[in-house]
Structure 1
Amino acid sequence: MPISRLSLGDHEFGIATLSLGNWREHRLQPRLEAAARAGYLWIDLFDECWAAYLEENGLSREDHHIWEPTQENLKVAQKLAGVVKSLGMRIACTQPLRKIEGIKDPEERQATLDLVAKRFPFMRAFDTDLVFMCANIRKDSGVTSDLAVVAQDLAQLGDMAAAYAKADGGPMLRIGYEGLSWATRNTWSSSWEVVRFANRQNVGLILDAFNILAVEFADPYNVAGHGRIYPTLEESLDVLTESLVSLVLTVPGDRIFFFQCGDAELVNPTSFLPPSDPDTPLLLPWSRGHRLYPLEQSRGAYMPVELVGAAVLGTGYQGPISLEVFNTSLDQPGQMVPTDHAMRGLDALQGLMETSKSIFGFWANSVERKKAINQVVQRLRSSNHKL
């Protein structure tokens, strides 16, 4: 059983399975046990980890099999849910659904939406209600980011989820939509636009601090080496806070279905080179290998994550605050990797909540906003002279 139950206010803490260790080196159950010992209440189940768990139980881990609602697959899903519950936790969601919305060809579109529906029986088996979808990263002529098309797709997914819930009599299933930082719709505002126009109560916004900041604050390839896209840190933060003020004032907290947190390492752009493959998104290598838990300044973290945290809290969001971090440290073997990362993450979440609350309300007026910016500048510059 868990040795602690840590949360702050109404916000319980969660962590993604891949933020506890890579599935190739670490079986899922030991990672879950490490999360429970640390005191997390929620688990964000990644597809790769679910596939590996199926394989551990003698079933196929191929992509086209893992969401087939066979009796065998669903039995393993129920088994996993039982393990999670026995540890005092719950599965918050599964992810990621990719390349779903905006498909032009009618047959391909319907077949892709049906792939989402295949997850619905698993949601029941896992005892979760949230289906997590990333904004489409396809750039070919077969997709569009047109608002009317994308909103219609999300509305149809919401209707499909509602119809499933009505048919089986269970709780409503929800569709969450996240603006991935290298997708066409890569900002919180463009993602919210789609959710708003989909106009379904079971379709909501997923926010990720890393993805927000990777678009609106940071650039790992900046030649000055500081990762900013503006001449001064103050200007970068001024533009960012303006966006986050808009977030607080326009997005109701109950339309945010999930909040993920992550920071990132300040890399040296003279040695951290863009990917050689032109089809690889520029931010992908940084995202996959250099994320950190919030405010880990001793490890090179430099993002103003507390501004995003304060803004999300300011909307009235009441759901879990979860960690989504990818780093090469998670690929290392050894039974202490999940334990060490679980504790590191929990310390980071507690620090993030405290720091975010110290600047809570920066959207109230220009004076509070300036005070918050100054506080963040002092924190960042105290640990990194490049900023």
Structure 2
Amino acid sequence: MPIPWPPAAVPNELGTATLSLGNAQYHTLQPRLEEAARAGFHQIDLFDECWAAYLEEHGLPGDQLWEATADNLRVARKLGDLVRSLGMRIACTQPLRKIEGIKDPAERRATLDLVAQRFPFMRAFDTDLVFMCASIRTDAGVTSDLKTVAKDLAELGDMAKAYSEADGGRMLRIGYEGLSWATRNTWASSWEAVRMANRPNVGLIVDAFNVLAVEFADPYNPAGHGRIYPTLQESIDVLCASLAGLVASVPGDRIFFFQVGDAERVDPKTFLPPTDPDVPVLLPWSRGHRLYPLEVERGGYMPVHLVAAAVLATGYQGPMSLEVFNNSLNTSGADVITTHARRGIEGLRKLAQVVQEVPAFWEMWQQGTREFRTIRTGRL
């Protein structure tokens, strides 16, 4: 059930993906973690590339990042100890890609077993959550059929449960996220698979950028406003109708993680779609032009606060965690880490304040009020 709104406070801890403070190619992991702690973050989302680079810093092969050798696990425990010593914790590790819906039994088995290879590392990191993006494969070897995807999620949940029961540790969890260029690209299509999997340790990952990239934004719209619909009001109406469904149908404890990111309004005259058919249309925008929440002064324009309000209204109690890719992170210099950590924590703190000003639009929808005119604020 949705919680009473507005909340008296937003108690959710603030986190960041390691990649959102600097690209591993230019910035080693420890300075990013130290700066995250200084900035005030409490949770870390460990990205695979950052973990691979950390292994290489310790003289180990980064392309074998989930091989449970004694050396790899020793370095994993060292990383977990480092994060704890800074007063933070590793909330999750990600991303798993192209996992579900594989038709060939042998390939399916091998792919699911790749997920299980992470379990010993999750113990070493002292985290209980790993999550996967919905598959972007469209070849004949995969299917997005609901029953098939749900069966795969259920089996992953069972594998995580069996591992947890065998070692006596806390229950390991599997999260599932709708990627904006995947076949299952909405919170609703991801949720139906999680719901049908029917495992308590399989839950939904909500990423504000991916929600908005499908249900609000179109960076290539020739009109230049960056939206799907011509008017802001229609765009907000459509988005709020979807988010009202999220509040009504998804219990807060079934959302395992909430990622936050805005994006820059680009000029469609110069920012053109990729010509390579193998590159998803939204990928260049996602990888190079995300922003921290509510960075209007940098061109941010997406209503991240509406997604955040809906997620919190479900009763979700986990972290609000940044996942921001931007070309500005792909440069060297210590100031890159410091600047982005400051921008990130400021954006999250501002978001925590702004969501309390959002009216309970999900209740308006239930009452048949289809035009959410009170939602429009100076932040849109």
- Taking the TM superposition and a 5 Å limit, the aligned residue runs for 1:88-127 are 88-127=87-126
CA distance in 1: counterparts of 2:277 and 2:247, whole angstroms = 37
Report the alpha carbon displacement of residue 370 of structure 1 after superposing the two structures with TM.
7.4
- Cα gap change, 1:264/1:373 in structure 2, threshold over 3 Å: closer, same or farther? farther
Instruction: Tell me, yes or no, if structure 1 residue 302 matches structure 2 residue 330.
Output: no
2:379 matched residue in structure 1? 379
- TM-score, with structure 1 as normaliser: 0.94
Whether the aligned pair in 1 keeps the contact of 2:296 and 2:379 (CA below 8 Å) is no
- What amino acid sits opposite 1:41 in the alignment? H
Equivalent in the alignment of 1:385? none
- Cα distance in 1 for residues equivalent to 2:179 and 2:248: 22
Partner residue of 1:18? 19
Aligned twin of 1:173: 172
The answer to whether the Cα contact below 8 Å between 2:194 and 2:202 also exists between their aligned partners in 1 is yes
C-alpha separation between the residues in 2 aligned to 1:378 and 1:230? 19
Select the structure with the greater relative contact order (CA < 8 A; seq sep ≥ 6). 2
The aligned residue for residue 239 of structure 1 is: 238
Mapped pair 1:186 → 2:189: no
Matched AA of 1:45 = L
Q: Is the partner of 2:61 in helix, strand or coil?
A: coil
Residue 10 of structure 1: how far off its partner (Å): 2.4
Aligned partner of 2:148 in structure 1 is 149
Per the TM alignment, residue 361 of structure 1 is displaced from its structure 2 partner at its CA by 1.8
> d(CA) in 1 for partners of 2:285 and 2:11?
32
Contact 1:314 1:360 in 2 (8 A): no
1:131-280 equivalent positions in 2, closer than 5 A: 131-280=130-279
2:10–2:352 CA contact under 8 A, matched in 1: no
Q: Distance in 1 between matches of 2:124 and 2:18?
A: 18
Q: Please list every run of 5 or more consecutive structure 2 residues that lacks an aligned counterpart in the other structure.
A: 1-8
Unaligned runs of 5+ in 1: 1-7, 381-387
Q: How far apart are 1:101 and its partner, in Å?
A: 0.1
Deviation string 1:283-330 (CA, Å, 9 cap, x unpaired) is 000000000001000000000111001000100000000000000110
Return the letter of the residue paired with 2:206.
L
Aligned amino acid, residue 323 of structure 1: L
* SS in structure 1 of the partner of residue 130 of structure 2: strand
* 1:332, distance to aligned residue in structure 2 (A): 1.5
Structure 2 SS opposite 1:154: helix
Cα-Cα RMSD: 1.4
One-letter code of the match for 1:379?
R
CA offset digits 1:241-269 (Å, max 9, x no partner)? 00000000100000000000000000001
User: What does 1:356-375 align with in structure 2 at a 5 Å threshold?
Assistant: 356-365=355-364, 373-375=373-375
Deviation at 1:9, TM superposition (A): 3.6
Q: Secondary structure at the match of 1:194?
A: helix
Q: Is the 8 A contact 1:151 1:198 kept in 2?
A: yes
Match of 2:351 in 1: 352
The residue aligned with 1:78 is 77
- Taking the aligned partners of 1:209 and 1:379, their CA distance within structure 2 comes to 16
The answer for the alignment partner of 2:3 in structure 1 is none
1:177–1:206 Cα contact (<8 Å) kept: yes
Following superposition, the deviation at residue 373 of structure 1 comes to 4.2
Cα deviations by residue, 1:50-92 (Å, 9 ceiling, x for unpaired):
0000000000011xx1101111100000000011000000001
- The CA distance in 2 between the partners of 1:28 and 1:374, in whole Å, is 43
SS of 2:211's equivalent in the other structure is: helix
Q: Is the 8 A contact 2:52 2:65 kept in 1?
A: yes
Query: What is the rounded CA distance, in whole Å, between the counterparts of 1:39 and 1:287 in structure 2?
Result: 26
